[in-house]
A and B are shown apart, each in its own frame.
Chain A
Amino acid sequence: MNLDRIIAVRTSKTVFRDNDKVIKMFDQGYKKADVLNEALNQARVEETNLNIPKILEVTTYEKRWAIVYNYVEGVTLAEEMERHPEQLAEYLNLFVDLQIQMHNTKAPLLNALRDKLDRQIEQSDLSATIRYELRMRLESMPRHSKLCHGDFNPTNIIINKQGECTILDWSHVTIGNASADVARTYLLFWLEGKIDLANQYLNLYCEKTNTSKKYIQQWLSIVAAAQSIKGKEEEREFLLSWVNVVDYE
């Protein structure tokens, strides 16, 4: 395993490139179950006809877990959007089409988004009353079985010279209501400070799928509460403020 070339750095992960392979190396404290779960999720999605990297190996190196994938040629859609702002509308269109195509893909063996959201709300720092309300709201939302990526954003899409897209990072994939996945993408743009882009994205998605914005909005508080249990402290306060958002327009 040649670990000379770093292509991405995260707080607890480093991604290396070794010729036609990519090695995602987790730090020592990373839970084995989380690594294996990520690999299993990805393997399930590999069975669909979506364009995603293939897992070649799950292994350890100096007491650290690592997943080895095939290297996907190209740049991330996020980089393309930065580099060619004049083509933003075109890229956003591609982004939304890709997400809709993904939602319509069947992968019945994955875990349910509803169960995951329910668990995450329970783990959040919110008061028991608010947690109860959110869980009731979640319970009342329609049940679907769409493929939901869980972290669908332009940094997780690689586009090559031919314009073909590959979707990366399947650690959070589940099946459930697509609007929850859309609410999450909307929030992710917000967290990046890209508020205009968030709104353009939501408008385009709603237009293409004939979905009402109000309906996506109902998911926002649920998804924000669930997202608040993740790492970053400075995001937490902001997310919790979304929990009480009823009207955002």
Chain B
Amino acid sequence: MKITVCIGSSCHLKGARQVVEELQYLVAKNNLKDKIELAGTFCMGNCQNGVCVTMNNKNYSLSPTNTKTFFEEEVLTQI
């Protein structure tokens, strides 16, 4: 399963780097490196919300503080 995080400038200002680092940490901690692929993409045209993340063709709007909840509730339940 692929999780793509927007690394465009607007998402950057909302904490894309922290979201990326948190996801990398959670994937490693849960031994999911061969099941989850993390990637980055430039602006997804969805800048008005939080950090734009896509997984299985669905868009999510994250912030550094809700990334862990996203991982537990959306990622872990879909793999």
A binds B: yes
Tell yes or no: A38 within 8 A of B by CB: no
Stretch of A1-9, A126-134, A142-150 contacting B (4+ beta carbons < 8 Å): A1-9
Tell yes or no: A164 within 8 A of B by CB: no
CB atoms of A11 and B33 under 8 A apart: yes
Please give the number of chain B residues whose Cβ is less than 8 angstroms from any Cβ of chain A in the complex. Answer: 19
Tell yes or no: A29 within 8 A of B by CB: yes
Using CB atoms, name the residue of chain B closest to A8: B40
CB atoms of B34 and A5 under 8 A apart: no
CB atoms of B39 and A9 under 8 A apart: yes
CB atoms of B39 and A10 under 8 A apart: yes
Residues from chain B with Cβ under 8 Å of A7 in the complex: 7, 40
CB atoms of B12 and A6 under 8 A apart: yes
CB atoms of B38 and A10 under 8 A apart: yes
Q: Which of A8, A12, A14, A233 contacts B28 (CB 8 A)?
A: A12
Residues from chain A with Cβ under 8 Å of B58 in the complex: none
Interface residues of A in 1-58 (CB under 8 A from B): 3-12, 14, 27-29
Tell yes or no: B37 within 8 A of A by CB: yes
Query: What bracket does the count of chain A residues touching chain B fall in?
Result: 10 to 19
Considering the chains assembled together, what is the distance between the CA atoms of A7 and B8 in angstroms?
Answer: 9
Q: Which of B5, B16, B34 contacts A233 (CB 8 A)?
A: B34
Beyond A6-B16, A231-B34, A233-B34, is A11–B27 a contact (Cβ under 8 Å)? yes
Residues from chain B with Cβ under 8 Å of A11 in the complex: 24, 27, 33, 36-38
Show 25 A/B contacts (Cβ-Cβ < 8 Å), sorted by A.
A3-B17, A6-B12, A7-B7, A7-B40, A8-B40, A9-B7, A9-B20, A9-B38, A9-B39, A9-B40, A10-B39, A11-B27, A11-B33, A11-B36, A11-B37, A12-B33, A14-B17, A14-B24, A27-B24, A27-B28, A29-B28, A232-B34, A232-B37, A233-B34, A233-B35
Q: Which 3 residue pairs of A and B lie closest in terms of their CB atoms, listed nearest first?
A: A9-B40, A6-B7, A11-B38
B interface residues with partner A (beta carbon < 8 Å): 5, 7, 12, 16-17, 20-21, 24-25, 27-28, 33-40
A interface residues with partner B (beta carbon < 8 Å): 3-12, 14, 27-29, 231-233
